[in-house]
C-alpha cells in the first residue's frame, strides 16, 4: 500500500476546456475556494485531472499561468498518477473532490453574495504569482477597446460572434473626445495571459463585448471601469 500525505484533489474540466472565464473562475477557481473553505493549504497540492489533460493552447496557458497560483506541483492525470505507485492500494491522508461553484448561471448568481472574498483572494493569488502587485493602481488614465476578432462561434452560419460592429467609429470617437488619454485597441487572444494581466492592471477604462474576454475584467485595478 502507498500512503500519500500531501493534499490531493480530483478535478475535471467542463466549460473551461474552451472558455478561459469558466476555467478561471469556476473550475480552477473552485480548487482555491475549497482550500479556503476547508482551511486546508498545501504549496505542493497535487491536482489530479480526472481524464487525459487536453493538449490545447488554452490548457497550456492554464498550466503556465494559473495552476502555479494553486500549487508548485504540475498538473497530473489521475489514472497515470495512481498507476505510477505500482501498489494495489493508495491511501490519501487528505483528499477533496467536488465542490465546484457555478457562478455565472442566471439562476445561481444570487448565491455569489458573500463569496466576494473568495473571488478577490483568487484574483490576488493569480496576479501575484505572475509577478505583479494585486493592489497596484495606475497613476494615469488608459483606455482599452477590445477587438474581438476571434471567437469559438465564428463561422459563416453563426450570428453569435459577440463583437463591436462599428469598432473603427467607436475608437475614432474616443480618441477625438479624449485626445490626451492613451487609447489602445487590443486583440487579447494574441497576448500571453501574464501580459494580459499586466495590461489590465494599467487600464482604467475597458470597453469590451461580453464573452470570454469579459471574464478577465476582475484583473482590472481598483477604481477602473468596464
Helix H, strand E, coil C: the string for the chain is CEEEEEEEEEECCCHHHCCHHHHHHHHHHHHHHHHHHHCCCCCCCEEEECCCCCCCHHHHHHHHHHHHHCCCCCCEEHHHHHHCCCCCCEEEEEEEECCCCCCCCCCCHHHHCCCHHHHHHHHHHHHHHCCCCCCCCCCCCEEEEECCCCCCCCCCCCCCCCCCCCHHHHHHHHHHHCCCCEEEEECHHHCCHHHHHHHHHCCCEEECCCCHHHHHHHHCCCCCEC
**pLDDT for residue 196:** 95
Burial class of residue 206, CB neighbours in 10 A (0-12, 13-18, 19+): buried
**pLDDT for residue 173:** 97
**pLDDT for residue 114:** 79
pTM value is 0.88
pLDDT along the chain (226 residues), means of 10: 96 82 90 94 96 92 96 97 95 89 71 85 97 97 87 50 85 97 93 95 93 82 94
> Taking a C-beta distance cutoff of 8 angstroms, is the pair 11, 50 a contact?
yes
**Domain parsing of the chain, residue ranges:** 2-129, 142-219
**Torsion angle of C-alpha atoms 148, 61, 39, 113, degrees rounded to 10:** 10
Radius of gyration of the chain (CA): 20
Q: How far apart are CA 50 and CA 12, in angstroms?
A: 5
Q: Which of 143, 127, 148 is nearest to 202 (CA)?
A: 143
Amino acid at each position: 500500500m502507498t500512503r500519500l500525505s500531501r493534499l490531493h484533489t480530483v478535478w475535471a474540466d467542463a466549460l473551461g476546456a474552451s472558455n478561459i472565464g469558466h476555467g478561471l473562475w469556476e473550475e480552477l477557481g473552485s480548487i482555491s475556494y475549497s482550500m479556503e473553505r476547508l482551511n486546508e493549504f498545501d504549496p505542493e497540492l497535487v491536482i489530479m485531472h480526472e481524464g487525459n489533460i487536453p493538449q490545447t493552447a488554452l490548457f497550456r496557458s492554464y498550466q503556465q499561468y494559473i495552476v502555479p497560483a494553486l500549487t508548485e506541483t504540475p498538473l497530473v492525470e489521475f489514472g497515470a498518477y495512481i498507476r505510477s505507485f505500482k501498489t494495489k492500494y493508495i491511501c490519501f491522508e487528505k483528499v477533496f473532490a467536488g465542490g465546484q461553484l457555478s457562478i455565472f448561471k442566471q439562476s445561481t448568481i444570487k448565491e455569489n453574495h458573500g463569496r466576494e472574498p473568495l473571488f478577490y483572494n483568487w484574483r490576488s493569488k493569480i496576479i501575484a504569482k505572475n509577478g505583479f502587485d494585486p493592489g497596484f493602481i495606475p497613476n494615469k488614465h488608459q483606455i482599452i477597446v477590445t477587438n474581438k476578432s476571434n471567437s469559438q462561434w465564428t463561422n459563416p452560419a453563426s450570428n453569435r460572434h459577440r463583437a463591436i460592429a462599428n469598432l473603427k467609429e467607436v475608437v475614432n470617437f474616443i480618441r477625438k473626445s479624449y485626445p490626451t488619454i492613451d487609447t489602445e485597441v487590443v486583440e487579447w487572444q494574441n497576448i500571453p495571459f501574464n501580459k494580459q494581466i499586466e495590461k489590465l492592471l494599467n487600464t482604467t477604462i475597458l470597453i469590451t463585448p461580453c464573452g470570454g474576454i469579459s471574464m478577465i475584467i476582475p484583473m482590472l485595478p481598483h477604481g477602473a471601469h468596464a
